[in-house]
Homo-oligomer: A and B are copies of this chain.
Amino acid sequence: MEIIENELGKKLEERIEALIDRKVEEALRKKFQDRKGAVPRLAIVVSKGTLEAAYPPLILATTAIALGMEAALFFTFFGLHILKKGAAESLRFVPLGNPATPMPMPNILSVLPGMTALATFMMKKTIQEKQIASIPELFTIAKESGVKLWPCQMTMDMMGIERSELIDGLDEPVGAATFLSYAADASISLFV
């Protein structure tokens, strides 16, 4: 009896160990596919409509895709402005109230007509010289690489903006609920 138990026990234990390893591995894989998606996910709320606010979400999202992650941008409130036809080309950099610009100027100058345009021109010149992608270029990369680009339905209703006023190649407009459900399974969620 002792002999049977020991011998059976040893053989069975090995098989049981292998079985447990496999089961645990499967259960964890299933759990994380359910909860987290197969790959890490980046979810960003884009709530502002300036040149300097458009860059970080587009750079982070396209970089995330390059790293094998999923990424979605939810354009809401003033962020929706970025999606309007022609807006990506004409976003403005606002030096006002930003003492950390490369060329800081007193606010009394920043408010003068033309100063935002001048600062935008100089910022864009720097971007071009440094061969950094422009916002329209980043949008092209984002669309081609599969970044989800979600206009906020509530903002469209609030501001009276039609789907036809927005650029092509976007995903269907969604609400905060859809974004939150997506973000709940994201590894990284940001509000810009």
Contact = CB atoms under 8 A, between A and B. Distances in A.
A153 B15 CA distance: 52
A67 B132 contact: no
Interface in A3-51: 4-5, 8-9, 11-13, 15-17, 19-21, 23-25, 27-28, 31, 40, 42-45, 47-50
Interface stretch (A140-148, A163-171, A180-188): A180-188
Contacts of A28: 27-28, 31
A158 to B, nearest CB: 5
A154 B177 CA distance: 32
Contact of A49 (B20, B100, B175, B189): B100
A27 B66 CA distance: 30
Number of this chain's copies in the assembly equals: 3
B188 A184 contact: yes
A59 B13 CA distance: 52
Contacts of A110: 107, 111
Contact of A180 (B1, B52, B60, B126): B60
A115 B108 CA distance: 10
Given A1-B4, A40-B184, A102-B159, 11 more contacts: A13-B19, A17-B19, A24-B27, A25-B27, A47-B56, A49-B98, A78-B101, A107-B115, A108-B113, A180-B188, A184-B187
9 contacts: A12-B12, A16-B16, A23-B24, A45-B56, A47-B192, A55-B77, A94-B99, A108-B113, A188-B189
Q: 4 smallest A-B Cβ distances: which pairs?
A: A49-B100, A81-B100, A78-B100, A190-B191
